[in-house]
Amino acid sequence: MDFIAETIADLSPSLTLSITSQAKQMREDGIDVCGLAAGEPDFDTPQHIKNAAIDALQDGETKYTAVAGLKALRMGLAKKLKEENQINYEPDEIVVNCGAKHSCFNAIMACCDAGDEVIIPSPYWTSYPEMVNAVGAKPVFAETKQENNWKITAEEFDNAMTGSTKMIIINSPNNPTGAVYTREELAAIGEVAASEDILILSDEIYEKLVYGESKHVSMASISDEIRRLTITINGFSKAYSMTGWRLGYTAAIKEIADAIDTIQSHSTSNPTTFAQFGAIAALTSDQSEIDDMVEEYNIRRQYVLGRLNTIANISTIEPEGAFYFLINIEKTGIKSVNFSEKLLSRMQVATIPGVAFGNDQTIRISYATSLPIIKEGLDRLEEFCRAH
């Protein structure tokens, strides 16, 4: 007898998480690893956020809350979405989940049946296809081009559509490419979606991490029609360095929010209660620590860009957001898994092979680590590329 369900048997574990923990283990074992793999801020969670959760624990906030999260938190999120993202959501159109990964999963489960197609611009964040597969729906990859900054165009979206398309996933700022979509680009994609009533899962987890002249625009802010089709996903992990707290959220029309609430009521119930108090503090307090983090990321981003542009046999685009570079290694003639494995075993530099993001001619590095580690990692990458 097959113990494992057919939809689950072929899923692969998350490569981003497994390589990151492999690199952590090597470091604990005393190996001098430069970890450029982790998609996780290296800053600590701000102290006032920790204090709010500690106070909540001391005050006995240790019981269930509403499945969708504390009303005060959802009211804070509605205010945030209105003021920062120019989208009007009522608190009962918002569901707080156990991390934005959970938010994406719930949204896909709530909306996609077996046989539905979900268009995923490639390169993509590693978990999207497996979430779609896990509910029996079908991921349809739309290849994007490096010369278009790896962004899907409205025309490419249109070409990927079939009678079975239910949803498209747009992630801006993007993991792994760092691309940020402009308002015009989002509007053009939104219009194509609206013409066929296709849902848009808009993953905006990196919204705060944008650099230079780039601005983050929320898909649902573009028009009422696009808002009706959009499921806005965001969370606390990246903006507030709260990856371990597991707090994300979904905002969508009530019909979809209610379906997500129902799924969550039978799976995780509410996200951890005292963590939600930390999230309220994150939303309502001074946001200047975010500016400091962004400034530091930007210094690293510019340093990495300068270095990568001088290394033989590789190329990249200038990422305008998130904290990643997707590096094109095609000229080396080595495929991504082989490249990353050799880089780790010979030079002790941890990176993520692009195959995890649907592109075997790239590797991803993260600059969510200190400048000295980045510098040493790039010295080693340069030496490796010189020999290949």
List of residues contacting ligand PMP (CB under 6 A): 39, 99-101, 125, 171, 175, 203, 205, 235, 237, 243, 248
Please classify residue 295 by burial: count the beta carbons closer than 10 Å to its beta carbon, then call 0-12 exposed, 13-18 middle and 19+ buried.
exposed
According to DSSP, the residues that pair with 230 across neighbouring strands are 200
Do residues 196 and 62 touch, judged by C-beta distance below 8 A?
Answer: no
d(CA 288, CA 205): 18
d(CA 255, CA 199): 13
Distance of closest approach, residue 107 Cβ to ligand PMP, in angstroms: 11
Given ligand GLU, ligand PMP, none, residue 250, with its beta carbon under 5 to 8 Å by kind, binds none
- Closest CB to ligand GLU among residues 73, 326: 326
Going from the C-alpha of 268 to that of each of 108, 230, 243, 301, the distances in angstroms are 16, 24, 18, 37
Residues within the interface to ligand GLU (CB under 6 A): 14, 16-17, 39-40, 101, 125-127, 175
- Closest CB to ligand GLU among residues 91, 354: 354
Given ligand GLU, ligand PMP, none, residue 232, with its beta carbon under 5 to 8 Å by kind, binds none
Distance of closest approach, residue 127 Cβ to ligand GLU, in angstroms: 6
Helix (H, G, I), strand (E, B) or coil at 17: helix
Given ligand PMP, ligand GLU, none, residue 17, with its beta carbon under 5 to 8 Å by kind, binds ligand GLU
Dihedral over Cα of 9, 118, 143, 356: its sign: negative
- Closest CB to ligand GLU among residues 37, 81: 37
Using CB positions, name the residue nearest to ligand PMP. 99
Distance of closest approach, residue 21 Cβ to ligand PMP, in angstroms: 14
CB atoms within 10 A of CB 64: 8
- Closest CB to ligand PMP among residues 125, 367: 125
Distance of closest approach, residue 4 Cβ to ligand PMP, in angstroms: 24
Going from the C-alpha of 176 to that of each of 64, 365, 374, the distances in angstroms are 36, 9, 17
Distance of closest approach, residue 358 Cβ to ligand GLU, in angstroms: 13
- Closest CB to ligand GLU among residues 125, 277: 125
- Opening angle at CA 373, ends 372 and 378, nearest 5: 100
- Closest CB to ligand GLU among residues 263, 365: 365
